[in-house]
């Protein structure tokens, strides 16, 4: 079956595509010279709202994205507040 998927192409799940995009963004930011920039955070937040809105009614204020540097690590914190009906 995997051979057919290879030949015909297989549509990736939204979560895996989002994960790959995030990995590319983080790798790109880490490879740059100088201090890390968080220019991509607003776009990341908009994309998260768009993806989650397909499944649950949320507003842009329900998602908080924050990048923090701790020693030699970068921590990307994403807080998503889901409505009570979705839980």
Residue 32 confidence (pLDDT): 60
Coil, helix or strand at residue 5 = helix
Q: Is 34 left (phi over 0), alpha (psi -120 to 50) or beta?
A: left
* 82/84 Cα distance (integer angstroms): 6
For the structural domain made of 11-86, what CATH number should be given? Answer: 3.30.1070
Residue 49 tokens, joined: 């709202």
For 5-36, write each residue's pLDDT tens digit. 655 665 667 777 788 888 777 776 666 655 55
Residue 22 confidence (pLDDT): 80
**18 with 44: CB under 8 angstroms?**
no
Average the pLDDT over each of 8-12, 42-46, 81-85 and give the range with the smallest value.
Answer: 8-12
Q: Mean pLDDT, the chain, as a whole number?
A: 75
Domain boundaries, the chain: 11-86
């Amino acid at each position: 079956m995997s051979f057919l998927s290879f030949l015909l192409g297989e549509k990736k799940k939204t979560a895996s595509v989002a994960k790959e995009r995030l990995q590319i963004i983080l790798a790109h930011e880490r490879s740059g010279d100088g201090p890390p920039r968080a220019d991509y955070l607003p776009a990341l937040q908009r994309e998260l709202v768009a993806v989650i809105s397909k499944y649950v009614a949320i507003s842009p204020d329900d998602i908080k994205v924050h990048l923090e540097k701790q020693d030699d690590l970068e921590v990307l914190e994403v807080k998503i507040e889901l409505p009570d009906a979705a839980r």
